[in-house]
């Protein structure tokens, strides 16, 4: 068969596009490998289903024609440092329609991944497509922020402050899921994109900050190495990062898993032995236990993904699946503050519930809390406002909340864990270890029986009387006794918890008649 003769115009296109690919830029590729990093296209190839990535705006170059030749710009600034397009992600699990995703990546081999005028324009165009197609976004955001060297734009006189990228990306909040992947250095405008995203996945060697070394020094705030700014040991503990991973390879796999919870139900799933739940809560009601074990057993095998694991350790927030269906989980951890809810935990709960509500994930609450934290130090941290966020968000939820009281359900904290009231949840059930009250038993006895305790102290029997009063209060408030007042719905065998959850997940309609959510808090 005679070899096809290509037209000159097509030959020109092929010649022009070759500079987009790693093999035609060996020096840039080598720098990435020496750094222990992958190129943007390697990350995109790993993320997207094979052959599905359709690239947009690949032929633009940096806006520097006033200082460089066209040939140099084509060779050294391909795609203006932003690779963008539409692809399938997880098609084998969810089908073509559910797997469509916008994928963008700042290219650190091009002017340190900075944001140029043309790549802002490309981002804006991609956001417009996302709005029209209503598809999720995965954004690799490594880079140094705004680029002052683009002389083709009159940035000196106007500062480029009329750029629409940030406000348009922010407007996607609550509209479609947006996952940012941070590796290497991510500062200024790139960091703003990360911060406006719904979920931030970061590699352990990343640095993330609203200003890089040049901006800090320019502001007269000192001279710092990039690695001194926004390291992951800081950003994971303070709640900025949702998921911390080893490297870019793991980041891509976690991003695919994270995206999957928003793509639909899995048809195949495996269940743990639910009888093991019976032994999760210690017989001694004062002993702490591993709430992660409870979550893992309740969920389908290998289906749990925790968010903000390094922040507010007294609360666990996670995605998981039950019979293939995605749900969001909030759970008190008794290993930290005894499961009490402080200001940071309140923020963590409220923001996670907004995320679940925006993308139609029912919320499963595993309650074991003595209530909200109190005291002068706590109130100095604006506890009243932080705690109230949970009630305000809970009252606006359109997805169902399912509450399982594992042990303690005391006071306002227990109500907050249930969406605002034990009757606000679509169901509130308790394990036999459950206990209920307006406040913790010990505190209630000390306050309510002060006179009796003072009298007992005079005859040297204070501790004995105190323990008897606590035990009497426990008998009155334990799950089997409290169930008779219909303050909650049922006491169940722990092994039956999944059956209760599935009764809601299998319901034909889950949304409530409440106002449409407008955005998700960044915090």
| pLDDT tens digits, one per residue of 36-90 | 999 999 999 999 999 999 999 999 999 898 889 988 899 899 999 999 999 999 9
Which residues, given as ranges, of the chain have pLDDT below 70?
1-3, 154-159, 441, 443-445, 447-448, 508-517
Six token digits for residue 310: 């390094």
Six token digits for residue 442: 């010990």
User: Quick check: 350 and 343 in contact, CB under 8 A?
Assistant: no
The verdict on residue 409 lying in a domain is: yes
The pLDDT score that the predictor gives to residue 3 is 63
139 and 219 housed in the same domain: yes
Rounded to the nearest 10 degrees, the angle between the axes of helix 291-298 and helix 497-505 is 60
What is the domain-level CATH number for residue 296?
3.90.226.10
Residue from 376, 446, 355, 364 nearest 405 by CA: 364
Instruction: Return all residues near 513 (Cβ < 8 A) that are at least 6 apart.
Output: none
User: Quick check: 365 and 417 in contact, CB under 8 A?
Assistant: yes
239 and 285 housed in the same domain: no
The verdict on residue 41 lying in a domain is: yes
| 280/288 Cα distance (integer angstroms) | 10
The verdict on residue 523 lying in a domain is: no
The verdict on residue 510 lying in a domain is: no
379 and 450 housed in the same domain: no
Residue from 365, 437, 378, 363 nearest 406 by CA: 365
Q: Which residue has the tokens 């490594």?
A: 142
198 and 325 housed in the same domain: no
Six token digits for residue 129: 């497509």
User: Quick check: 363 and 482 in contact, CB under 8 A?
Assistant: no
The pLDDT score that the predictor gives to residue 202 is 98
Q: Which residue has the tokens 């203006």?
A: 80
The verdict on residue 282 lying in a domain is: yes
The verdict on residue 66 lying in a domain is: yes
What dihedral do alpha carbons 432, 438, 444, 448 form, nearest 10°? Answer: -130
The verdict on residue 520 lying in a domain is: no
176 and 30 housed in the same domain: yes
280 and 424 housed in the same domain: yes
The pLDDT score that the predictor gives to residue 444 is 67
307 and 248 housed in the same domain: no
The verdict on residue 267 lying in a domain is: no
Instruction: Return all residues near 114 (Cβ < 8 A) that are at least 6 apart.
Output: 81, 106, 143, 144, 145, 146, 147, 190
User: Quick check: 369 and 410 in contact, CB under 8 A?
Assistant: yes
278 and 422 housed in the same domain: yes
The pLDDT score that the predictor gives to residue 515 is 63
213 and 349 housed in the same domain: no
Q: What is the DSSP letter of 206?
A: -
List pLDDT tens digits, range 115-160: 999 999 999 999 999 999 999 999 999 999 988 888 887 644 556 7
82 and 227 housed in the same domain: yes
| 32/37 Cα distance (integer angstroms) | 5
413 and 461 housed in the same domain: no
278 and 196 housed in the same domain: no
pTM: predicted TM-score of the whole model, two decimal places: 0.93
Q: Is 284 left (phi over 0), alpha (psi -120 to 50) or beta?
A: beta
Write out the residue range of the structural domain in which residue 443 sits. Answer: 439-477
The pLDDT score that the predictor gives to residue 512 is 56
| 181/44 Cα distance (integer angstroms) | 12
| 163/192 Cα distance (integer angstroms) | 13
| 108/184 Cα distance (integer angstroms) | 9
Number of domains making up the chain: 3
Which ranges of 18-107 does DSSP label H, i.e. alpha helix? Answer: 26-34, 40-47, 70-76, 91-99
The pLDDT score that the predictor gives to residue 251 is 98
């Amino acid at each position: 068969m005679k070899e096809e003769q290509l037209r000159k115009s097509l030959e020109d296109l092929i010649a022009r596009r070759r500079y987009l690919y790693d093999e035609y830029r060996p020096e840039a590729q080598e720098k990435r490998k020496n750094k222990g990093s992958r190129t943007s296209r390697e990350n995109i190839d790993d993320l997207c289903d094979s052959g599905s990535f359709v690239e947009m705006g690949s032929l633009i170059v940096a806006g520097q024609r006033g200082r460089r030749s066209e040939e140099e710009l084509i060779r050294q600034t391909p795609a203006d440092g932003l690779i963008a397009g539409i692809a399938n992600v997880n098609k084998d699990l969810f089908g073509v329609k559910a797997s469509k995703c916008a994928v963008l990546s700042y290219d650190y081999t091009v002017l340190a991944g900075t944001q140029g005028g043309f790549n802002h324009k490309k981002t804006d165009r991609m956001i417009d497509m996302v709005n029209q197609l209503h598809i999720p976004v995965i954004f690799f955001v490594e880079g140094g922020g705004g680029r002052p060297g683009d002389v083709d734009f009159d940035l000196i006189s106007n500062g480029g402050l009329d750029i629409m990228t940030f406000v348009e990306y922010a407007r996607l909040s609550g509209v479609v899921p947006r996952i940012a992947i941070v590796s290497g250095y991510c500062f200024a405008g790139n960091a703003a994109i990360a911060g406006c995203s719904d979920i931030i996945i970061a590699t352990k060697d990343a640095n993330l900050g609203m200003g890089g070394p040049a901006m800090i020094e320019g502001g007269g705030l000192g001279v710092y190495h990039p690695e001194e700014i926004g390291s992951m040991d800081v950003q994971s503990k303070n709640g900025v990062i949702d998921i911390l991973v080893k490297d870019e390879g793991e980041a891509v796999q976690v991003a695919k898993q994270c995206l999957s919870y928003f793509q639909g139900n899995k048809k195949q799933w495996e269940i743990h032995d639910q009888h093991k739940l019976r032994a999760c809560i210690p017989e001694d009601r004062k002993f702490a236990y591993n709430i992660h074990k409870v979550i893992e057993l309740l969920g389908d095998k290998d289906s749990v993904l925790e968010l903000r694991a390094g922040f507010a350790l007294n609360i666990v927030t996670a995605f998981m699946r039950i019979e293939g269906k995605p749900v969001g989980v909030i759970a008190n951890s008794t290993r930290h503050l005894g499961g009490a809810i402080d200001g940071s935990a309140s923020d963590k709960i409220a923001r996670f519930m907004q995320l679940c509500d925006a993308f139609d994930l029912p919320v499963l609450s595993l309650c074991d809390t003595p209530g909200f934290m109190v005291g002068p130090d706590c109130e100095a941290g604006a506890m009243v406002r932080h705690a109230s966020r949970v009630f305000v968000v809970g009252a606006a939820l359109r997805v169902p909340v399912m509450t399982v009281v594992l042990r303690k359900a005391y006071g306002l904290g227990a109500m907050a864990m249930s969406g605002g009231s034990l009757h606000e949840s679509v169901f509130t059930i308790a394990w036999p270890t459950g206990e209920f009250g307006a406040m913790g038993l010990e505190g209630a006895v000390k306050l309510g029986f002060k006179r009796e305790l003072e009298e007992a102290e005079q005859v040297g029997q204070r501790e004995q009387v105190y323990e008897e009063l606590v035990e009497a209060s426990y008998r009155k408030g334990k799950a089997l006794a409290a169930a008779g007042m219909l303050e909650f719905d049922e006491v169940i065998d722990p092994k039956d918890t999944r059956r209760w959850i599935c009764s809601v997940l299998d319901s034909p309609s889950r949304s409530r008649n409440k106002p449409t959510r407008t955005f998700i808090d960044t915090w």
